């Protein structure tokens, strides 16, 4: 079970003019990058050439660092009754269990779907391994289709048996019954049942959501007994189930939706195991109910999180629940609870560097173990396995390949926010904390939808740290790092708390001697840009540069337009501007509506021309207002110092979450790194550090051009 799946799916929901002749004014460019960068306006030749040279240099470096970590473990493998399967993003291959991987056979290729659908998003194997269902995404867009492929006998086909358009989630109830949800204009409201027979294919609508604030997805219990239909809004949820023993029956309701009630279900031995926010402070606790009597009056509490920790996820094994929990400083732990009396709780400590836990794909067999990958933004993934039989947590692969990596520090800090709340902060660095005053600092923030910051391994982040950067992750209110209450404390009328938390994190780091404003940059994407943009309006002096990707910047304008696909669904996060109190609150922090004449940090804003989640008009409005404010400030105050740069990198397509294509993604990362190093002038600092290091070791140094 993935507790953030509903939130993440909700979240997944969730021109410039010629520049002035003088260098004291900001420049804005549209960069269309298909092959090489081009710009539609005249820029300083020196500035443009410097950026392009830097971008090409970083492309070479990124290719090198990705090759270095090309063999790190991934969740690309899953197992059936007779075969092991491997997925590489474009194709799926299998080999018989116990045989060498040399015998791998292609069973699916994303190109079979045609029409520009080319990236695998979701894979489900039928219980007896006779059918494969695969969702593929259209290149540069969010449309997906589900392709069904038969696996029985010798596989010769080069096409799918059946193609279902606009399918988001799906699960097999049996080898011939598939349940799936459809998505239109980012809304997912309907669930269908597909029955494959020898003579016909029958499709039946089994559920239709009537409330536009809800989002519907299909999932399956780990023991494969139940297919569940999960209906979720920002403030409540409702779950229906179909028993695979009667796959053609209509769904049974577990508990009807109630305002404020969130719950998720698993199944084992005719009992439902329910994670619901019925614990203290409306946090998750584990309850149990008979499958035959699933409603709330029959829910019996089994376990609540230890004070100071919150439950982030749960996997149900045979006679055992495995919880992923976080403590007050966002350290990860594994806790196990026996599901039979006497209930016994055990805690398993994880390495201090662990920041991200990614569960291994579940196949069609083996409920006796829980496999997962541990990583951090700068530590490559390591595969772990918890065995319920041995009640033991172990590393399942040789980690000596990482010994050559330079040691780094993971420092857990807390910052006191404006109202006294202590905000967790994770700092990754190589030099000691006391030696970071002159280090460039890259901050990360999100703080929305109850979703944790992404802290999985990134070769780019590893490269930055080895270049001397310190990386800070601000776990502000509005995110999910400290549980459901942490999210509530930073949503709707409390959204400004996240901005205050972010400012407190930056000020705390500077006070501790970690970097300084002239060497501090901030990166955020999508809804995280709300906090970043608001901070720049109120505390621009804290930062030198900002990178925003697919940014949500015009909250007030967007939330007043109910014709946009996500406006109604998002009211539980941002508020409803039709309510005066909500309108005033959004207007008080909305980045686009609080720009004033002052010197802002330099900005690189990446947007996508067909992004349906974040209206491009809001981004363009923000950029124009920002440009005008900086020009007014520099003209009024006669600024002679270097003026902030504002670059709009407008890319084709609708890849709100960034390009799927490796080379396009690499190009985007290279542009961002070129911007950061140029604005913070880090190349000179890095060169001086190398020269000092080489002088100490007696090595000569000749800088590259």
- What residues act catalytically? 526, 611, 656
Number of residues that make up the chain: 705
Q: Which residues contact 512 (CB under 8 A, 6 or more apart)?
A: 413, 433
Tell the residue number behind the tokens 């501007």, with chain if given.
577
Task: Assess contact for 269 and 290: CB atoms under 8 A.
Answer: no
Asked if the bond preceding 342 is cis, omega within 30° of 0, the reply is yes
CA distance 119 to 116: 9
How far is the CA of 37 from the CAs of 18, 201, 439, in angstroms? 18, 49, 30
E-strand ranges in 327-433 read 332-338, 345-349, 356-359, 369-376, 379-387, 392-395, 409-416, 422-429
CA distance 320 to 238: 25
CA distance 598 to 589: 17
Cα–Cα nearest to 351, from 315, 383, 323: 383
CA distance 288 to 402: 42
> In 616-681, which ranges are continuous DSSP H helix?
616-637, 662-679
Neighbour tally for 624: CB within 10 Å: 18
Tell the residue number behind the tokens 């020898």, with chain if given.
198
CA distance 638 to 624: 21
What dihedral angle (degrees, nearest 10) is formed by the CA atoms of 110, 116, 119, 123?
-50
* Strand ranges across the sheet with 285-290: 263-268, 271-276, 285-290, 300-304
Distance of CA 66 to the CA centre of its chain: 20
Angle ∠(443,449,455) on CA atoms, nearest 5: 40
Helix, strand or coil for residue 143? coil
How far is the CA of 205 from the CAs of 171, 191, 202, 239, 509, in angstroms? 15, 6, 10, 17, 54
Task: Assess contact for 289 and 385: CB atoms under 8 A.
Answer: no
CA distance 55 to 53: 5
Task: Assess contact for 643 and 586: CB atoms under 8 A.
Answer: no
Task: Assess contact for 456 and 73: CB atoms under 8 A.
Answer: no
Neighbour tally for 118: CB within 10 Å: 19
How far is the CA of 293 from the CAs of 266, 271, 321, 540, in angstroms? 15, 9, 21, 57
């Amino acid at each position: 079970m993935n507790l953030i799946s509903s939130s993440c799916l909700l979240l997944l929901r969730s021109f410039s003019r010629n520049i002035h002749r003088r260098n004291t004014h900001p420049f804005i460019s549209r960069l269309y990058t298909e092959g090489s960068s081009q710009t539609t306006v005249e820029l300083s030749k020196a500035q443009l050439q410097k950026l392009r040279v830097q971008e090409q240099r970083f492309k070479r470096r990124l290719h090198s660092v990705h090759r270095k970590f090309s063999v790190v473990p991934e969740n690309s493998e899953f197992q059936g009754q007779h075969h092991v399967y491997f997925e590489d993003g474009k194709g799926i291959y299998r080999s018989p269990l116990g045989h060498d991987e040399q015998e791998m056979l292609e069973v699916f290729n994303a190109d079979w779907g045609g029409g520009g659908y080319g990236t695998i998003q979701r894979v489900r194997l039928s219980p007896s391994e006779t059918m494969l269902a695969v969702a593929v995404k259209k290149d540069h867009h969010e449309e997906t289709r589900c392709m069904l492929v038969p696996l029985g006998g010798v596989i010769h086909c080069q096409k799918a048996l059946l193609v279902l358009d606009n399918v988001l989630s799906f699960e097999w109830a049996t080898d011939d019954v598939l349940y799936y949800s459809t998505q239109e204009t980012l809304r997912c409201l309907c669930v269908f049942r597909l029955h494959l027979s020898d003579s016909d294919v029958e499709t039946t609508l089994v559920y239709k959501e009537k409330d536009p604030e809800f989002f519907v997805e299909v999932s399956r219990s780990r023991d494969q007994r139940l297919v569940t239909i999960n209906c979720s809004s920002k403030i409540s949820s409702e779950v229906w189930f179909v028993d695979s023993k009667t796959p053609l029956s209509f769904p049974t309701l577990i508990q009807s939706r109630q305002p404020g009630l969130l719950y998720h279900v698993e199944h084992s031995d005719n009992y439902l195991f329910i994670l619901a926010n019925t614990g203290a402070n409306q946090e998750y606790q584990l309850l149990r109910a008979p499958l035959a009597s699933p409603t709330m009056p029959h829910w019996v509490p089994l376990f609540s999180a230890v004070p100071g920790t919150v439950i982030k996820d749960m996997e149900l094994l045979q006679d055992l629940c495995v919880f992923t929990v976080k403590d007050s400083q966002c350290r990860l732990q594994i806790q196990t609870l026996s599901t039979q009396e006497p209930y016994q709780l055990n805690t398993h400590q994880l390495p201090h560097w662990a920041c991200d836990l990614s569960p291994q794909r579940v196949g069609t067999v083996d409920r006796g173990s829980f496999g997962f990958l541990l990583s951090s933004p700068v530590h490559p993934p390591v595969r772990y396995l918890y065995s319920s039989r041995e009640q033991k947590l172990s590393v399942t692969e040789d980690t000596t390949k990482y010994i050559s990596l330079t040691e780094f520090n993971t420092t857990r800090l807390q910052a006191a926010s404006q109202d006294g709340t202590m905000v967790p902060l994770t700092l990754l660095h190589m030099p000691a904390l006391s030696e970071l005053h002159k280090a460039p600092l890259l901050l990360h923030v999100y703080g929305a939808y109850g979703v944790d910051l992404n802290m999985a391994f990134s070769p780019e982040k590893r490269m930055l740290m080895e270049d001397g950067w310190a990386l800070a992750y601000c776990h502000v209110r509005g995110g999910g790092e400290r549980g459901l209450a942490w999210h509530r404390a930073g949503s709707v009328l409390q959204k400004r708390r996240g901005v205050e938390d972010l400012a407190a994190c930056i000020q705390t780091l500077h006070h501790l001697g970690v970097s300084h404003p002239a060497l501090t940059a901030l990166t955020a994407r999508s809804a995280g840009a709300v906090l970043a943009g608001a901070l720049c309006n109120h505390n621009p002096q804290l930062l030198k540069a900002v990178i925003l990707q697919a940014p949500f910047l015009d909250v007030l304008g967007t939330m007043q337009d109910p014709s946009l696909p996500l406006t109604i669904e998002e009211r539980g996060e941002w508020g409803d501007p039709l309510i005066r109190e909500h309108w005033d609150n959004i207007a008080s922090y909305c980045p686009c509506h609080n720009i004033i004449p002052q010197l802002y940090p330099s900005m690189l804003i990446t947007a996508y021309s067909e992004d349906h989640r974040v209206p491009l008009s809001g981004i363009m409005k923000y950029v124009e207002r920002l440009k005008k404010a900086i020009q007014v400030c520099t003209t009024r105050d006669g600024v002679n110092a270097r003026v902030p740069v504002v670059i709009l990198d407008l890319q084709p397509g609708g890849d709100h979450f960034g390009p799927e294509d490796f080379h396009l993604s690499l190009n985007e990362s290279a542009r961002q790194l070129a911007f950061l190093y140029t604005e913070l002038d880090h190349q000179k600092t890095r060169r001086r550090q190398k020269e000092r290091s080489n002088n100490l070791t007696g090595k000569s140094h000749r800088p590259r051009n």
